[in-house]
Structure 1
């Protein structure tokens, strides 16, 4: 994200200012993304047909021309663009071009396939769409969505490598769209995304026409222009003008991308109505419609937000792309306000639903992210699978994850509006921050987070700028400890109105110790699906039970005995996690019971058998084979004294 962001309360550090160490959790994730996920996505562009779809547009005399049918969804071009963006951000992270020969070949293919007008959508140009006329189906065509990802890839490549070749291709198309908007055409896409891309292009070029085009697209929404079928206008974010909306609605990814674009516009214009709408809708999304894992979207039918508190764990859709889009929106809200609650939400989604979307080797993925997999679940459908898959017919999620992970280092810290260095994500990292005199001030951030709550920030000289460390909402002020140059500091006194601990300039060594005791979380009483259940968490990490850790019982029959407490268990190196959780439970056999039965009156229920419960981070579930899993665990009643049936002995 470039440009001055005039309305921001805290701003990104310069490119290259933060480098994650591969020894830390986030740094290791970036290394795995670079070594496995990005190459996997590049390979899949060939095997999925995404590149062949573009080769169909070449002159028949061209040696690369492809005669086969169009393959994939109508927005398959966006898989190409998101992968190119991931490569670009990985090049920026590494400090040198990555996969450059492949990228140049793909950029040349895009250039040759592009129409003279600049338009470049292979589904339409190649005759696979019902009409070869551009923008004939704005509701379902996804053309502007594809354009948005092309623009973002072009901007990323220009910033990462200084090469404008991909940006030139993108601008050939986007300039035609901007001209059409200026001429009065009502171009608005059924899948928002281009709005953020246009703002980013304004930041890159300084041309306000791109920012204004994004604003016009936002204004065009919410008036039913896109029509209906088979879903209602809310699905396409076209039922209510965004500035008037009181709650999030419709397709979750579309809603989140739109609100990221709205927040981008606020960051550039300072228009208060945009931020007011974003805050109002963020509060609704996170206050009534977000899963405990940070996932959003509870309905499979239309990939949408459900009613308030409609959060069934076994039917959760929680698309991986919604997790990515949520992080992108949280990041923009953090920049706009400087408030820690947005960093809390970003971290929570990142360590849970986003991390769970990819396997521990980085080459298999979930499309949807349920919070419960029942015994006997049919996982044949790739959108409600029992295990991760290497690619999808609708392959939006893998390259989306790749491009996000390649940028994680940029979200670690920012420069506050008071000149302070604000630290949002705790990770092993080295930072070079511009000081008041222009010279860089170097900091080392060291921690075992999220498994260890000890965070140490050390400057190579007395810091010439104030420091601000996020106090996570899950930690609270009571259990945290703060030391500055070896002296204890009262946490409550250091906490500001935005949720950060403030340290004046001059400090060299700041230590924050966060409480890492396990927590048993209960849902709001209106979340009917999980009444009588708890979810286990430690730090920012939500845990789950897997069948593989509970042999001899059916996981669906297991209840948790909270009277015995929850304790921290050992690390699991095979899963790459630094801690597990252990507790006592009971499994009450249910095989053979009738579907419905009268209350037994005074008779004691069968208490079943004692079970040693082991919970692993939700982020790594499904890496040891397919099988039942659950985040929300029923609380078992303790065995009654003297009841002969309470024990499994």
Structure 2
């Protein structure tokens, strides 16, 4: 509670000072359309799916065993499965803030009771360390992830505070644990860091939520200790993997393990915001710019390496080997949202839109009971359906799997979907800013007591008309983001007058009467997108986008027996939007002319192909298919095994 006795609100992030103020669950609400369907799926299916799996395989029972003193070698799962229980609690807390439900409240409280029962007298709380038959506390900081797990518990507690329940058992558990961590790792404790950043961002937010400056101080210590080579490097990936190779202030681009990098950058920016450290904030902003310019997939995905789940070098973005982990996409949204709040720059909202609608929404299957851990941009083989009752290796599932041995992504998706509406709008002293579109209601009281009450209606992302209706008379500024891809053709109509916005936003500052509307019209014709010439892996190909959605070609939409990997397949022409909103294209299927030697102008070592200087043989006649459907990337692989391509060869 704050001094006035009011619940602190503000979503997953609430800086004490920022250019834009985030809104809380009582100020912005998704209430229909595309995003309401996904939030309903999360509330009705995904939360229960995660809880069921963690009960079934013993991850929740680990807390019971600690409470009864029987855990020892019976611990279920890898060392850091506690974090998945905490992410589920966070998802439940945000869902309860969004839509109170007695049954879910009872499930939440029962789970909190089981977690709380495992807490030690000094505040320590972990099911893999410190008990008879287990390794000592903090004996494996590189891989044990104790502080990482603590961070997710802190974020779950923050969600409960921001949902209006500051006096909650989980909040008390979190504070006792945070006090323990401060004693152990604070200015008078051990100088060490966790192998997986997360506690930094969580400590700052807990500090903001409960008003405890020591937690912010500790987060700052953890950030400054990074890049000093403090963690052992027993793997080939080196200190970069742990974000322990270069101090945060000195780094110019995100590198190493993608999720670790994004979580650390978010925490560093939080520390910079709270302490007024401009140099640290500028360093993080530079890392974001360079990473988006050179190390980000068209879907918003980040991370091109499978072996170390890491960013590759600049422009190393192979479509068929993309790792593009779902959790990295969520980390990207976390970082971009913080930068947006700090600066108001719409480029950050553009990346949030791209990442949410493509990379993150691709993870859950349409029934909410299976997930992609990694998100390829090219599926060369159709793959096989994973068993609905078995654990999958995280990167080996060729289709969405119900659960993983390292199952960080399903619970991360759950907490993101539950809080998704809190990324749609912000406020400042002059009015309200709309960053993402769909069907939502906004009601905000400005510092001078003016009330801005809006209803936003849209078929977005599939339709391009966004109507903002002002529900109460007010003199204020309403700002609408104009997506980067639409800035050359978007229009805005206010009180019957049409204006062409310039740049990334349009500000309508006037006296509004109840019932006044602002209509944003975005061009929704399909677009051909060309890759940067330095991205070697997709040179000679193009992608198709419509509105904010990346489109793909799936073998499910080709004639029987054909694959998106057929040698002669290429995008020919004829992008069309059908009456039902589907995008279709004309695709050419050339016969495979296989010359025996795949390089022109030189000797053919097989003796079967053209000789030196003969050039390529003339292309075989193509079979042209008109009206081939393209699928939004987020929806691919929902019709059984298929091959798929985002980047399509051209006819030239």
- Report SS of the residue matched to 1:524: coil
Equivalent residue for 2:535, pick from 507, 527, 536: 527
Matches of 2:492 and 2:197, distance apart in 1: 43
The equivalent residue for 1:441 is: 452
Does structure 1 residue 481 correspond to structure 2 residue 471? no
Once the two structures are superposed, the pairs formed by residues 111-130 of structure 1 within 5 Å of their partners are: 111-126=116-131
The equivalent residue for 1:647 is: none
- Report SS of the residue matched to 1:383: coil
The equivalent residue for 2:6 is: none
- Report SS of the residue matched to 1:140: coil
1:97 Cα deviation after fit? 5.2
The equivalent residue for 1:199 is: 204
- 1:254–1:587 Cα change, 3 Å: same
The equivalent residue for 1:540 is: 548
Does structure 1 residue 413 correspond to structure 2 residue 425? yes
The equivalent residue for 2:477 is: 466
After superposing the two structures, state which structure 1 stretch, 423-432 or 173-182, moved more.
173-182
After superposing the two structures, state which structure 1 stretch, 330-339 or 548-557, moved more.
548-557
The equivalent residue for 1:569 is: 578
1:59 Cα deviation after fit? 2.4
- Whether the aligned pair in 1 keeps the contact of 2:593 and 2:620 (CA below 8 Å) is no
- 1:259–1:436 Cα change, 3 Å: closer
- Report SS of the residue matched to 1:393: coil
1:385 Cα deviation after fit? 2.1
The equivalent residue for 1:80 is: 85
Equivalent residue for 1:503, pick from 508, 513, 528: 508
Equivalent residue for 1:251, pick from 240, 250, 257: 257
Does structure 1 residue 32 correspond to structure 2 residue 36? no
Matches of 1:20 and 1:441, distance apart in 2: 17
Post-superposition Cα deviations, 1:574-603, rounded to whole Å, max 9, x if no partner, equal xxxxx3321111112439764745555263
1:440 Cα deviation after fit? 3.3
The equivalent residue for 1:339 is: 345
1:517 Cα deviation after fit? 1.3
- Report SS of the residue matched to 2:279: helix
Does structure 1 residue 398 correspond to structure 2 residue 410? yes
Equivalent residue for 2:163, pick from 123, 146, 160: 160
1:158 Cα deviation after fit? 3.1
Matches of 2:243 and 2:92, distance apart in 1: 30
Once the two structures are superposed, the pairs formed by residues 357-436 of structure 1 within 5 Å of their partners are: 357-375=363-381, 381-416=393-428, 418-435=429-446
Equivalent residue for 2:180, pick from 154, 176, 198: 176
After superposing the two structures, state which structure 1 stretch, 460-469 or 328-337, moved more.
460-469
Matches of 2:75 and 2:24, distance apart in 1: 42
- Whether the aligned pair in 2 keeps the contact of 1:554 and 1:587 (CA below 8 Å) is no
1:95 Cα deviation after fit? 3.6
- Whether the aligned pair in 2 keeps the contact of 1:56 and 1:68 (CA below 8 Å) is no
- Report SS of the residue matched to 2:74: coil
The equivalent residue for 1:586 is: 588
- 1:220–1:511 Cα change, 3 Å: same
1:276 Cα deviation after fit? 0.5
Matches of 1:150 and 1:16, distance apart in 2: 23
- Whether the aligned pair in 2 keeps the contact of 1:435 and 1:465 (CA below 8 Å) is no
- Report SS of the residue matched to 1:384: coil
Post-superposition Cα deviations, 1:297-352, rounded to whole Å, max 9, x if no partner, equal 00000000001000001100001100111111111111011000000000000000
- Whether the aligned pair in 1 keeps the contact of 2:71 and 2:131 (CA below 8 Å) is no
- Report SS of the residue matched to 1:273: helix
When normalised by structure 1's length, the TM-score is 0.91
Post-superposition Cα deviations, 1:256-310, rounded to whole Å, max 9, x if no partner, equal 0011111212332221012101111001110000001110000000000001000
1:446 Cα deviation after fit? 0.7
The equivalent residue for 2:194 is: 189
Does structure 1 residue 615 correspond to structure 2 residue 616? no
Matches of 1:175 and 1:490, distance apart in 2: 54
Matches of 2:256 and 2:72, distance apart in 1: 38
Matches of 2:266 and 2:404, distance apart in 1: 25
Equivalent residue for 1:556, pick from 553, 557, 565: 565
- Whether the aligned pair in 2 keeps the contact of 1:91 and 1:98 (CA below 8 Å) is no
After superposing the two structures, state which structure 1 stretch, 377-386 or 350-359, moved more.
377-386
The equivalent residue for 1:148 is: 151
Output the aligned Cα RMSD: 2.1
The equivalent residue for 1:8 is: 18
- Whether the aligned pair in 1 keeps the contact of 2:303 and 2:309 (CA below 8 Å) is yes
Post-superposition Cα deviations, 1:41-85, rounded to whole Å, max 9, x if no partner, equal 11112013211222221325xxxx668722222100001000000
The equivalent residue for 1:321 is: 327
1:379 Cα deviation after fit? 8.4
After superposing the two structures, state which structure 1 stretch, 270-279 or 438-447, moved more.
438-447
Give the gaps of 5 or more residues in structure 2: 1-9, 387-392, 602-609
- Report SS of the residue matched to 2:519: strand
- Report SS of the residue matched to 2:518: strand
The equivalent residue for 1:217 is: 222
- 1:465–1:127 Cα change, 3 Å: farther
Does structure 1 residue 233 correspond to structure 2 residue 235? no
Does structure 1 residue 624 correspond to structure 2 residue 639? yes
The equivalent residue for 1:576 is: none
Post-superposition Cα deviations, 1:362-403, rounded to whole Å, max 9, x if no partner, equal 111000000001036588854132210111100100010000
- Whether the aligned pair in 2 keeps the contact of 1:518 and 1:581 (CA below 8 Å) is yes
- Whether the aligned pair in 1 keeps the contact of 2:383 and 2:641 (CA below 8 Å) is no
- Whether the aligned pair in 2 keeps the contact of 1:190 and 1:226 (CA below 8 Å) is yes
Once the two structures are superposed, the pairs formed by residues 269-284 of structure 1 within 5 Å of their partners are: 269-284=275-290
The equivalent residue for 2:3 is: none
The equivalent residue for 2:5 is: none
